Chains A and B, each alone.
Chain A
């Protein structure tokens, strides 16, 4: 029970963290809540969907996991790159013209861009949810285990030819071959827990990369300089536009990875996929301390766990409808954090200048 809640929470929290990273980086540098960030995530998920489908991840020829991993790697790279390019384009066309027009104008532009991309996706890809491609593994009939450990299918039919639990002796194998069936495939036994584990692993791999980029490279130093004081940074010869574009690229790249991970874990993608996770990820970024990369990760994981743990706890205490409040929890959290510690858990204290 506790382990379930924890794993569910960490799995979802890792997704929030993936999105929150981009929010926090963009906010840190130009003080803009980029509402469209959730849509970069969604576009990444869609590109990943098309890549996985067209790479044929559901009919990999060998019973080894390598091609599947490779397909996922290619899909994730494509998705992340597409999301990143879209972000750079958005920044250039919509955000750069309003950067000096005041924060309300910039924020409203961001709302407009988010709404624009959502509806564009509805028009282009349809409003409905699409099932995310599940990887499939092929086996020769001879290699089937004595007792089928899953449903086995052939390409021509939707229904399985060997059901899970069927005994497979030589006579059965001969019968299958007599039908002309040489090979069968099954989808791997990846439980939701397994997938969530992968997402967490991916987050663990990404964090040091980002940390290194921001703390140890020239580009990262320029980013930090711009976020500290944009005018002074310009006087030091830093190309602000380039740095802002790079920040958008990096943030959306990570969001694209998160988009594929999210949709592969929860099984479907639709144009509204990015909206609520995007909002919550921003809240996660605020909880962790906006502008701070470790803060985004801590905030994301914390929010994910809280979203599962608190309703579960309330249910244990005898409140049957507690699940209805799961979606509102993040906002309550946000308000509490902003009132108690407005800089977030890991944020630097800021003094208001008069």
Chain B
């Protein structure tokens, strides 16, 4: 951020901050939705989602830096995002095909190893100082006067992506492939006996999840303007998981609400300052543990927000009659 921003009027600074927060909430919602696809609906325990996000971001950043300058910005943006998605999907294929035959917790370790390993290898092999990429601004040059426009543009992109992913998941879960996947999640052996190919079904949902995470990573790379291995550490994975669990395994609206709530809580506690915000990561881990003890299926469980509101209304109506 350049010095010009500091001299902007307060209202614009507030807008800038707000758009930034909402974009980050949107990216986390994308990550949580895609992880929910794997862990919630698919019932596969993956702990490597930060690796796909990393691959997407690095793939997009690398291609953006490698492409010749002078190409139309929108074309570069779309191409690099697709490339980031492709790299993440390839990573998903590489880890998914051998590992999805594994039982739950072995899969967790193998995917965790993938997420951590990919980052460690790339950051060990990176000779640049400091490690990472600076991503050229391809859509337009950013300065203090059009920063808000830039962020609004990204806000639009992220909202569009979230809506797209929500529709994708809704339709997928109701499609025949989605129902097959749900059957495999419930009982792999029984689903196999019904003529469903369990491995194929699991690989498909795993790839979808990794592709969406890769896309989110690519958009993040373009938005933030730089990527470095330290942005993709395990804490990111824990955050995504916390959102998924908070929102409910298998709940779309829960995921988005939880992404928002978590960010708001973090920012809110940050404003309290002092011990509360310094100890944020400790509190954060504590929330995860307590949630697991008291509500292991998330706050809403697999229900959507609309179900919860309907139930609540019915209960209230029943209460007023009695």
Contact = CB atoms under 8 A, between A and B. Distances in A.
18 contacts: A97-B293, A98-B292, A103-B105, A104-B39, A107-B104, A112-B238, A112-B289, A112-B292, A115-B285, A119-B281, A123-B282, A279-B116, A282-B109, A327-B124, A328-B118, A335-B99, A338-B102, A338-B110
A317 interface: no
Interface of B: 39, 43, 45, 47, 95, 98-99, 101-102, 104-106, 108-110, 112-114, 116-118, 120-121, 124-125, 189, 234-235, 238, 241, 245, 278-279, 281-282, 284-286, 288-289, 292-293, 296
A320 to B, nearest CB: 11
B47 to A, nearest CB: 7
Contacts of A279: 109, 112-113, 116
A325 interface: yes
Contacts of A327: 117, 120-121, 124
B296 A283 contact: no
A137 interface: no
Given A115-B238, A123-B282, A286-B109, A325 B121 contact: yes
Interface of A: 31, 33, 94, 97-98, 101-109, 111-113, 115-116, 119-120, 122-123, 275-276, 279, 282-283, 286, 321, 323-328, 330-332, 334-335, 338-339, 342, 354
B245 A323 contact: no
A283 B109 contact: yes
A338 B108 CA distance: 13
A209 B22 CA distance: 57
A119 B47 contact: no
A283 B113 contact: yes
A88 B263 CA distance: 34
Interface of B is mostly: helix
A80 to B, nearest CB: 25
B113 A330 contact: yes
A326 to B, nearest CB: 8
A108 B105 contact: no
Nearest to A330: B113
B105 A335 contact: no
Contacts of B98: 335, 339
B113 A111 contact: no
A97 B294 CA distance: 9
Contact of B296 (A102, A276, A330, A338): A102
Contacts of A338: 99, 102, 106, 110
A325 B118 CA distance: 10
Contacts of B116: 276, 279, 331
B121 A115 contact: no
B39 to A, nearest CB: 8
Contacts of B109: 33, 279, 282-283, 286, 334
Contacts of A275: 234
Contacts of A282: 109
A279 B110 CA distance: 10
Given A123-B278, A279-B112, A327-B121, 16 more contacts: A98-B293, A104-B39, A112-B289, A115-B235, A115-B238, A116-B289, A119-B282, A279-B109, A286-B106, A323-B124, A328-B113, A328-B117, A334-B109, A334-B110, A335-B99, A335-B110
A323 B123 CA distance: 12
Contacts of B99: 335, 338
A331 B117 CA distance: 7
Nearest to A109: B292
Nearest to B118: A328
A209 B118 CA distance: 39
Nearest to B237: A111
Contacts of B278: 123
A116 B286 contact: yes
Nearest to A325: B121
Contacts of A122: 281
Contact of B125 (A113, A116, A324): A324
B292 A108 contact: yes
A111 B238 contact: yes
Given A94-B293, A325-B121, A335-B98, A107 B45 contact: yes
Contacts of B106: 286, 338, 342
Contacts of A115: 234-235, 238, 281, 284-285, 288
Closest 9 CB pairs of A and B: A331-B113, A116-B285, A324-B124, A112-B288, A105-B296, A328-B117, A119-B281, A112-B289, A324-B125
B121 to A, nearest CB: 5
Contacts of A123: 278-279, 282
A213 to B, nearest CB: 26
Contacts of B101: 339
Given A105-B296, A107-B105, A120 B120 contact: no
Given A105-B296, A116-B282, A33 B113 contact: no
Contact of B289 (A102, A104, A107, A109): A109
Contacts of A109: 288-289, 292-293
Contacts of B118: 328
Contacts of A104: 39, 43, 45, 104, 296
A108 B288 contact: yes
Contacts of B110: 331, 334-335, 338
A328 B105 CA distance: 19
Nearest to A323: B124
B177 to A, nearest CB: 23
A27 to B, nearest CB: 9
A98 B245 CA distance: 15
A100 B113 CA distance: 27
Give the one of B39, B99, B105, B112 with max A CB within 10 A.
B105
A151 to B, nearest CB: 33
Most buried by A among B118, B288, B296: B296
